[in-house]
Amino acid sequence: MKKRIVAAFLFISFLVSPYAIADSMLETARDAVILIATKDESGRSGFGSGFLISEDGYLVTNYHIVHRQTEMMIWFYDEEDPKSYTAELIGVDGVADIALLKMTLKPDMLPLTYLEIESESIEVGDRVFVIGHLLGLDWTITSGIISHVNRTTRISSLVRLLQIDAAVNRGNSGGPIVNEDGKVVGVITTTRFDGKGLTVGVGNGVRGDYLNAIVLDLMDDGKIERPAMQVKFKHLSPWNVGKLRKENPGVLFPDVFGLLAVEIKEDAYSYSQGLRDFDIVIGVDGVAIDNMYELSDIIGKKNIGDTMNLTIIREGVTMNLPYVLKNLEFDHVAHFDERMKKQAESEEEGE
C-alpha cells in the first residue's frame, strides 16, 4: 500500500513539475515576442526584438532599434506560415531607451497572445528567462537569475535597471525578461561585451515598475516628462574628498558624505536656482541623502514645478536652499546618433 502511495505521489509530482510549467509558459510567452527588421535612409538594415503588451496591438522594444529607421517590419513566431506586419511608432523614452509601437489589427489575427508587466514582485535571485533573437538566432530562450534590481541607465539615475546573468547578446535588444509566472519583469536594453563582441554574463533591462509607468505615459500622449534638477553631481566619500582637496587647495571640503555639485555655469538652470560649484547637498526636505539613488527616489515622487528644500554645505557653512524642479532636458536623437556612430566604429575595428 505504501509503495502505491509513493508511486502515485511521484507521478503527480512529475505532472506538475516546474519544468513542465515553465515549458508551457515559455511557449505562450514566445508567441508574444516579435522579430523587428528595419532599414534606414542609406539602406542599412538591422534587427532586434520586442513583445506585445496588449490585445489592442501595443508593442514594446528599444528605441535604438527604431532610431532614424524609415522602414520597419515585424514577425510573430509561426513555423508554418510566417507573415510580416507593419507597426507605427507611438512614442519614445530616450532616457530609458524604450519605444512604444502599435500595429494595425485585423479580425483574422485575433485573439492575440500578449505579456503582462510585473511591477511589484521583483527580487534578487528570482529565476528569469530572456526571449529574443540573439546573434540572429530567432526566438532563442535563455535563462538565469536576477543579479541586482537597482542599477541605473548610462544617461540618468531616474530610471532603474535589472541586472541578470542570463546569456544576452546583440539581437536580444528590446526583448522581454520574463519570470516564472510568464510576466515581464524587465525589457533588455544593454549588454556588456568581451573584446570579441560576446556577452560576459551581464545584461541590463528596464525594471518592470519603471517600464509600466513609461508605457502608460506613452499610451496617454506619446510623451515622457520627468522632474529633474539638471545638475551634475559627484558622490562624496573619504577617498574622493582627499582627491578633491589636492585638486582644489583653495576650497573647503568638510568630512561629510553627500553629493557635490560640479560644472555649474552662470547660464545653467541650476545656477538660477542658487546652486554653485562645490555646493554639497546633504539633505532634501529634511531627509538626509548620501547618493544619487536616494536623491532620485525623492525626485521621482515629485512633479515638475514642485519646490524641494535642499540642505547644502557651502564653504563650510550649512544652509537651506529652495529648488524648483523642471522638466528633464535630453536630446535623445543627438545622443543616439553619437551612440550608434560609436557602435558602428567599434564593429568596424573588430572586423
Q: How far apart are CA 306 and CA 301, in angstroms?
A: 10
Catalytically annotated residue among 49, 64, 296, 332:
64
In the set 49, 67, 93, 97, the catalytic residue is 97
Let me know if 119 is a catalytic residue: no
Candidates 49, 147, 157, 173; catalytic one? 173
For residues 29 and 22, what is the distance between their CA atoms, to the nearest angstrom?
10
Instruction: Indicate if 121 belongs to the active site.
Output: no
The 8-class DSSP code of residue 257 comes to: -
Pairing mode, strands 160-164 and 317-324: unpaired
In the numeric block, which cell numbers belong to residue 78? Answer: 509561426
Return d(Cα 72, Cα 59) in angstroms, integer.
13
CA-CA distance, 280 to 315, in Å (whole number)? 9
Determine the 3-state secondary structure of 202 from DSSP. Answer: strand
φ, ψ of residue 268 to 5 degrees: the values are: -80, 150
Continuous segment of H or E residues that includes residue 11: helix 2-15
| Backbone φ/ψ region at 57: left (φ over 0), alpha (ψ -120 to 50), beta | left
173 in catalytic set = yes
Stated length of the chain: 351
Residues 6 or more apart whose CB falls under 8 angstroms from that of 13 comprise none
DSSP codes, 144-196: EEEEEEEEE-SS-SSSEEEEE-S---TT-TT-EEEETTS-EEEEEEEEEE-TT
Active-site residues, by number, are: 64, 97, 173
